[in-house]
């Protein structure tokens, strides 16, 4: 395997951060400063990044049904965190693939494969995410048109990418977005003069929240689900 691939797989560094680390001499292979990301490694070497030994492990890919009131973080001083729900060894090493708000429920992916995580969460990724939204006020047809055209959110340079809104009832809709700006769904509805009172993520790309999972439960992804996230 290439050194840069190894490091982005077994750390939370993206490929470009790994390249920077190699260029600045922060990566050692068997005590020798690595010079190039394409250096081949066989698997028995001692590889360190900033002095920390990076070890290969069996990568894990999980889907969790996030309950209300949990924070998408590895620790929090006020609220329970989603990794508290995971009863696996090395649970602290799991990365949360994108965040949901405290009051949002639904699909959360966790992995220790940094590259796979990056494919979904990189700002350039257009990986669709689907949410079921409940609002305080009726959802108008102008809202769908506004979201399809792109919404200029306060403090953002660019309008949102075109998003698809499917009305389910007067106060409920399914929204598919192709990026993941901070509080994006709530801010989009606020820009349309509405207020989100319930938010549930149903899918990320082709990965659907398994209806057999109750809030708080999780399962390993299938090989097809893992493969569905393409570079």
Q: Give the footprint of ligand URA on this chain (CB under 6 A).
A: 100-101, 104, 183-186, 199
Q: How far is the CB of 16 from ligand URA (least distance, A)?
A: 26
**Contact indicator for 62, 112 with CB cutoff of 8 Å:** no
| 101 is an active site residue | yes
Q: Compute the distance between CA of residue 16 and CA of residue 150 in angstroms, rounded to an integer.
A: 30
In the set 4, 30, 38, 101, the catalytic residue is: 101
Among 149, 142, 115, 148, residue whose Cα is nearest residue 230: 115
Q: How far is the CB of 199 from ligand URA (least distance, A)?
A: 6
**Contact indicator for 47, 39 with CB cutoff of 8 Å:** no
Among 182, 76, 188, 64, residue whose Cα is nearest residue 135: 188
Shorter beta-carbon distance to ligand URA: residue 49 or 133? 133
Q: What does the radius of gyration of the chain's CA atoms come to, in whole angstroms?
A: 20
Shorter beta-carbon distance to ligand URA: residue 57 or 182? 182
Active site residues: 101
């Amino acid at each position: 395997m290439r050194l840069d691939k190894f490091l982005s797989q077994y750390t939370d560094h993206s490929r470009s951060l790994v390249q920077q680390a190699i260029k600045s001499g922060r990566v050692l292979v068997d005590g020798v400063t690595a010079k190039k990301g394409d250096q081949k490694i066989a698997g028995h070497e001692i590889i360190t990044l900033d002095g920390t030994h990076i070890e290969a492990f069996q990568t894990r890919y999980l889907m969790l049904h996030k309950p209300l009131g949990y924070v998408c973080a590895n620790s929090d001083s006020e609220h329970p965190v989603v990794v508290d729900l995971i009863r696996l060894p090395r649970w602290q090493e799991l990365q949360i693939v994108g965040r949901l708000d405290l009051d949002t429920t639904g699909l959360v992916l966790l992995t220790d494969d940094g590259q796979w995580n990056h494919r979904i969460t990189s700002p350039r990724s257009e990986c669709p995410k689907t949410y079921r939204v409940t609002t305080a006020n009726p959802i108008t047809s102008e809202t769908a048109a506004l979201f399809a055209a792109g919404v200029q959110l306060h403090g953002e340079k660019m309008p949102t990418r075109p998003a698809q809104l499917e009305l389910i009832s007067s106060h409920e809709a399914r929204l598919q977005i192709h990026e993941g700006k901070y509080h994006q769904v709530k801010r989009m509805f606020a820009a349309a003069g509405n207020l989100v009172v319930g938010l549930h993520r149903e899918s990320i790309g082709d990965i659907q929240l398994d209806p057999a999972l109750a809030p708080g439960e999780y399962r390993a992804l299938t090989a097809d689900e893992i493969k569905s996230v393409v570079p």
